[in-house]
A and B are shown apart, each in its own frame.
Chain A
Amino acid sequence: MSFTQDDVNKLAHLARIALNETSNEEHSFEHSIAEDLNKILRLVSEISEINTDNIEPMQHSQSYAQRMRPDAVTEPDVRTEMQRLVPENAVAAGLYLVPVVKE
């Protein structure tokens, strides 16, 4: 697997990251990122040389099971405290206001 500039642009879009560095004379910024990512992938791909046929896939670095809590309401209403954290004009009628997101 290797990264192309298009892949980099797509990932940047999905992660909502702006890649606005100016490109140097030979290569674009996306190109150099793609190169860096490819180096990392090559390093990681060395793992696939190890035989894992009889090893159960690992789901987590800790070998414990998930702890559970009883179904009880323990959190109070913290709307006032939370809405104090956002700019005054970004709250109305108890709602958080964001740019229109209609489909």
Chain B
Amino acid sequence: MNWETVIGLEVHVQLNTKSKIFSGAATAYGAEPNTQACAIDLGLPGVLPVLNSEAVRQAVKFGLAINAKVANKSVFDRKNYFYPDLPKGYQISQFGHPIVLGGQLQITLEDGTRKTINLTRVHLEEDAGKSLHEDFKGKSGIDLNRAGTPLLEIVSEPEMHSAAEAVAYLKTLHALVTYLDICDGNMQEGSFRCDANVSVRPVGQKEFGTRAEIKNVNSFKFVEKAINYEVARQIALLEDKQAVIQETRLYDSQKNETRPMRSKEEAMDYRYFPDPDLLPLEINDEYIQQVRDTLPELPNAKRERFCKEYGLSEYDATILISSKAMADFYETVVKNCGTANAKTAANIIIGDMNAALNKHNLEIQQAPISAAQISKLILRIADNTISGKIAKTVFETMWENQEDPDTIIEKQGLKQVTDSSAIEQVIKQVLEANPKQLAEYRAGKEQLYGYFVGQVMKASQGKANPDQVNKLLKDLLQQ
């Protein structure tokens, strides 16, 4: 039987406010345990939550960026459950009346296909603390620094049909929240966490299959693997005439498998009800307009502008806008070396720069080469001082010892040979050294042309100007 995968995603985005959503305790990452947990976060008797205006502003900003309906009135509810890292015995969340409803995200797949994913809702809530299970005399340790940190929970419709679509959605969302500057996007530190609802159904069937929820997968790579594993598991069960059980599963990246987390018997019943400590949140249209006025250029608009202004392909533009830092770096380079070199700049950043960043596991902000240095390198290609091929060598040296491109070109004698007579000399030597190939070429074996180009470039140590080599070689071969 042919199966269709159905995926809906719930993403928790940690908002980058200075203080917590309902208290004035700090939210900085990595502080000593429990030093950023005040009486409100600990749920001591007699305390009252007071809402952080910045968390609300960021939620509205997100809602506007996805073209959603920002609710003029929303309500905070209590979600009740017992867990040691939840001191109050309930999490303040939004259930029946979330702050943002609907909205869309346009995703671009690897092959360039565009697809629009609808969102169900977005709501504000507080995070819980952290349980540490290292051995503390046979007990678990609780750190409540994270308790009360503002989260935006973003829920998609079940409209994705492959792990690749889910990853594209997550990358698009990740880029959007960092562009909006409402989240630092740090997945290792848990600032952007994903739960995936996965089910399968026979192709053509309208009703959804029974879904499993995979919890807290914290990298794009693991999301893809976890979903692929889960889809294969469910199909195997169904083809074996067994049923999929609705349950929460945990992804184990070491074993590359998902396994049940909570048993069915303990199915949660959160008994939501409006939090009497908090009044309804009212947002008027004037406020919404004020926030709208602060929206920056968003990724899709930037991609279109990059294609139009710099003549880039959609593929290249998509890579460059994948993070705001990357897009800013690119634009700084282009500003320095001119729009005429925009395509070369894109090639170097997407090719050499990205390869080096990946190899050293760095973000572009941490690169040892500045945008100004890259521009200089590009100008040397543009004015024919070096060829594109030699530029790669210069780039590698720049990365290693942070030297100026001009210094490197000078020191290593990499200057391109543009003197026609010098190039002609080299070509003549090559032709003389290869009489057999020359005879074959002249007898009609034209594919040997590339061989001669290679030999000439090799003999000139890559320094001969490729355009001139082509032109002169053709002439000399004709003779």
Interface residues of A (CB under 8 A from B): 10, 14, 16, 59-62, 64-75, 77-79, 82-83, 92-103
Contact = CB atoms under 8 A, between A and B. Distances in A.
Contact of B36 (A10, A70, A77, A100): A77
B36 A59 contact: no
A66 B276 CA distance: 11
A16 to B, nearest CB: 6
B141 A92 contact: yes
A66 B277 CA distance: 10
Interface in B45-64: 50-56
Contacts of B132: 95
Counting contact residues on chain B (CB < 8 A from A), the size range is 35 or more
Interface stretch (B20-28, B180-188, B413-421): B20-28
B53 A69 contact: yes
Contacts of B36: 77
Contact of A14 (B26, B271, B282): B271
Given A82-B42, A94-B33, A68 B24 contact: no
B25 A68 contact: no
B36 to A, nearest CB: 7
A72 B34 contact: no
Given A65-B279, A66-B278, A103-B250, A75 B139 contact: no
A67 B51 contact: yes
Contacts, number: 134
B34 A70 contact: no
A97 to B, nearest CB: 4
B27 to A, nearest CB: 8
Given A14-B80, A59-B280, A66-B281, 7 more contacts: A60-B274, A65-B282, A68-B56, A69-B52, A74-B19, A75-B25, A101-B84
B30 to A, nearest CB: 13
- 7 A-B pairs with least C-beta separation: A74-B24, A95-B141, A71-B54, A65-B282, A75-B38, A68-B53, A94-B33
Among the interface residues B142, B274, B278, B282, which one has the most CB atoms of the partner chain A within 10 A?
B142
A71 B33 contact: no
A70 B24 CA distance: 9
Interface string B79-99: 011111000000000000100
17 contacts: A59-B75, A59-B280, A60-B274, A66-B51, A66-B279, A67-B51, A68-B56, A69-B51, A71-B17, A72-B24, A73-B18, A73-B25, A74-B19, A78-B38, A79-B33, A101-B140, A102-B140
